[in-house]
Every structure is written in C-alpha cells, then in structure tokens.
Amino acid sequence: MKRNKTVKLRGAQTGTARFGLGMLMPTMILLLVMTAYPLIFTLLYSFTDYNYLRGAENASFVLFDNYLSLFQNGYFQQAVWNTVLFTILAVVLEMGFGLLIAVFVNSLKRGQKVMRTLLLLPYLLPAVTVALSWRMMLSANYGIINQFLEFLGLPVFNWFMDTHTAFWTILVIDVWQNVPFVFLLLYASLQSVSESQYEAARIDGAGVLQQFLYVTLPNIKGSLALCALLRTIDTFRLFEKVNVLTGGGPAGTTSTITQFLYTYGIESLNFGFGSAGAIVMTVLVLILSSFYIKRAMG
C-alpha cells in the first residue's frame, strides 16, 4: 500500500516537472533564437572579412585580423575611453540625484502622486524625441537657451559642435532623462522600509543624516546595486542621442562604441569588423556586470 502511494507521488512529481518544462519551453526557444543564435553568428563573423556587398558565401576566415585592426584603431580607442568615462559619470550622477529625489518625495506628507507623475515624464519620452527636443532648445541660431544666455549678457555656445561642450551637453541630457528611472526604483524600495526603524533610531538620538546612513541605505542597498547594474548596461549602449545630436563629433569627442560600430561596421557594410567590435563590447559589459553582481552578492 505504502509502495503504491510512493509510486503515485513520484508519478505526480514527474508530471508536474514535465508540465513546468512544457510551459517554459516556448520561452527557452524564443531566448535561444533571439540571443544565442545571433551571438554565435556574430562571434563567427568576427573572424571573417564578411562584407554585405560580397555576401556571406564569399567571406573568408581572417582569424584575429579584425580584432587587431580594432585595437589598433585610434578612433576605437577614443570611443572606448569616451564610453567608459560617460558611463561612470552618468551612473554616478543618476544614482546620486535619483536617490536624493526619492528620499525627498518619500518624506512628503502630501503631493507624492503628483510629484511621481511629473518626475517620470522625461523617462517616458523616447530617446530620439528627447534628443530632437534638446537640439532645438540648444540650437546655436534659434535655441531658447542661447537666447536666454544672450539676454543675460552671458556667452553663448554652439553646444553640439564645440569640442569643449559637446560631451558634457550629451551627459546632461542623458542624466536628465534617466534620473526618473533611478528615482522610481529607489522610491519603490523606500516604501518598504518600516517606519518603526526610523522611530527606533530617533529614540536612540539619531539625526537625519544618521538615519539616512544607518537605516535608509542598508535597507535599499540591494535596489541600489540593481539600479547601478541596469543603468551601467543601458548607458554603455548609448547610441540614439549621440547619433542624432553629434554623430560622434566634433573630432570624435562624443563617439561611443556603438556609434563607432554603426559608422565603421553597419554604414560601411563591413560586418566582419563590426562583429568583432560587438564581441568586444559584449565582453566589456559582462565584466562591468560581474563586478556589480559580485558586490551585490557580497
């Protein structure tokens, strides 16, 4: 009798496992088709001189020639440096402003819903729309910001064509658009922090800064790590704003890895060279991601 029950239990568990696997199978197949397949072919193409005009059948293996050409390319070196610097600055600024805004909104007794709605508006706009809007506002000829500076008697700039301002202008635009994402994620995390912890801290004589350091931050450190990871990956792939506003100029000061790959890989139809660049970019993102994941798990 007991043996029959054991057999039935094992049969039920096997059926449940098969059902779960059957439900997961469509998603697994989709992920394989959408991620594994392109990644494998990109890796293979990176070792060839594949050019779209000649066709894949006429491509020949060149082993590491694409990678050697890539690392010896001065424009690529500048693009890597620009991307890393931009990512570090953008993530630090977005995390800092996002955290401050989230703490401020969370402390409000009234108007939280209104503030949430208003603050989320920049993030809801497409990146191209944001870029075009800022390009009009910062136009050297008719931009409202230059007109305002001229009215105040201050110097005006050609924001996107000046080597001293182009990089920082795109940085400001990117931070302006993506701070709301950080705010939303951290605000949701702050909502889960128990008020009793703050009350206990106040009873122990903790001030506002001490409450922030010893109550708020420890409770949301997981969200902070996740937010930093997501923003790092997304910022590292920056393309739309650069392509619309500067095209990587002036003199390559705003060129990113994605912009470089688009210019020298996609536009020139040199898919072998572009694939090598894509693999290098993927490795860099994995390195940065593993750093954040290790810190979060530690």
Please state, for a pLDDT cut of 90, what percent of the chain lies above it. 16
Listed by start position, the domains of the chain span 2-45, 69-297
pTM value is: 0.83
Half-sphere exposure of 238 (CA within 13 A, CB side): 34
Q: What is the mean pLDDT of residues 141-163?
A: 86
- The per-residue pLDDT for range 1-50, each reduced to its tens digit, is 555 555 555 655 666 667 667 777 887 788 777 777 788 888 888 888 88
Domain 69-297 has CATH 3.40.50.670: no
Of 12-21, 89-98, 190-199, 285-294, the one with minimum mean pLDDT is 12-21
Angle at 271 between CA 269 and CA 273, to 5 degrees: 110
